[in-house]
Amino acid sequence: MSSLRSLFLVHLPYSCSKATTRYAAICMSRSAVPVIDMQGLHGLSRSSTVSDIGKACHEKGYFQLTNHGIASSTLDGTLDIATAFFELATDKKLELMSVDITRPVRFSLIKEVVMGQEQIQRLFLKHYAHPLEEWIHMWPSEPLDYRTKMGTYSVEARKVALQVMEAIVESLRLGRDYLKDQLQDGLQVMALHAYPPCTSTDPCSSFGIAPHSDYSIITIVLQKSPGLEELDPKTNKWELLPHQHGSLFVHVGNYLEVISNGLYKSAVHKVSANDRDNTRVSIASLHSLSIDEKVCVPDNLVTVHTPKGYKESSFRDFLRFLSINQDFGVQGDVMVWIEKQ
């Protein structure tokens, strides 16, 4: 894969994550997470909402969505069914276990040894979700209503993602219909995570999920309880996302960094050490173009002052890269996957 050059690992300070409660409070108060009211996309205030989304993508790389139109009961039901999946007997889950990252449905668990004791740091289930009819029959058949509930949420989350991506391309002045058909046919991957309580008497120092950015255009995250932290690019400090019932969070993914020619940078995020009492469950919905569609810098965004900064690449290129670089994104390093020019 020599053509995939310039993949970079950047080591960044974790000052906020190791912080005391007081320090964390300072991080929170200094830079609030932008909140986008999606209702604003449907009326006369569309253009100001579009520019708020553009500003959030440029200045932060992440934002919170309210009034997105997904009923609270759907969100709660989805988190409950995800929790029920992770609570299934281990044998049931292991039937879906695979280390083959190209599998459309894949369960895995990540263990760590703390003071000589093995403990599960994170369990995850990843599956493709769009077009739904192509994948849903491969999803877990248990719990019984898993497919119905996760299917409903996947479709709803995708509708939200399409509206957000349409606003994003508009904010880049690429026109509202830019990539419209490709986005309609795009890939959606659901990544469900469970972070069991840390049972060690030792401080639970490891990450629930190490700092990374997502191989998506955007990712929409639904969380049952707080835990997700974002690296604020301005202050270089970690910002704990607030947990508000019914809200969703959006990240800028690697492919949006390419589509915006670097104007919108991929959001670097992590989940710190697991809670001592509760299992945290989250569901990330990752949206990109279809598997072989190359994502490239639009000609309109290339000028003498802003030369083309990225090579084109597809989701399959990323999968190929990962399968031959299995130690990519080692703990402690921030992982950003982008093919730079």
Ligand X SMILES: O=C(O)CCC(=O)C(=O)O
Which residues lie near ligand X (CB under 6 A)?
191, 193, 209, 214, 221, 223, 228, 269, 271, 282, 284
Shortest Å, Cβ 334 to Fe ion: 12
164 binds, among ligand X, Fe ion, none (CB under 5 to 8 A by kind): none
- Distances, alpha carbon 259 to alpha carbons 27, 49, 70, 111, 330, in Å: 30, 20, 27, 36, 27
Task: Give every strand in the sheet of 228-232, ordered side by side.
Answer: 8-10, 334-336, 209-212, 269-271, 228-232, 237-240
Cis omega (within 30 of 0) on the bond before 131?
yes
Helices (H), the chain: 21-30, 46-59, 72-86, 90-94, 132-135, 146-171, 180-184, 254-259, 315-324
Among 166, 170, 214, 229, binds Fe ion (CB under 5 A): 214
Give the range of 89-97, 156-164, 207-215, 308-316 binding Fe ion by CB under 5 A.
207-215
282 binds, among ligand X, Fe ion, none (CB under 5 to 8 A by kind): ligand X
Shortest Å, Cβ 126 to Fe ion: 11
Name the residue nearer to ligand X (CB basis): 68 or 212.
Answer: 212
Give the range of 13-21, 118-126, 210-218, 223-231 binding Fe ion by CB under 5 A.
210-218
Identity of residue 302: V
The 10 Å Cβ neighbour count of residue 44 is 7
User: Rounded to an integer, what distance in angstroms lies between the CA atom of residue 19 and that of residue 239?
Assistant: 11
Helix axes 72-86, 146-171, angle to 10 degrees: 120
Shortest Å, Cβ 305 to ligand X: 33
Q: Which residues contact 238 (CB under 8 A, 6 or more apart)?
A: 14, 15, 16, 17, 27, 229, 230, 231, 232, 270
Q: Binders of Fe ion among 54-113, rule CB under 5 A?
A: none
Q: Does 230 bind Fe ion (CB under 5 A)?
A: no
218 binds, among Fe ion, ligand X, none (CB under 5 to 8 A by kind): none
Q: How far apart are the first and last CA of the chain?
A: 15
Shortest Å, Cβ 250 to ligand X: 12
Shortest Å, Cβ 249 to ligand X: 8
Name the residue nearer to ligand X (CB basis): 260 or 282.
Answer: 282
168 binds, among Fe ion, ligand X, none (CB under 5 to 8 A by kind): none
Shortest Å, Cβ 210 to Fe ion: 10
Which chain residues interact with Fe ion by CB under 5 A? 214
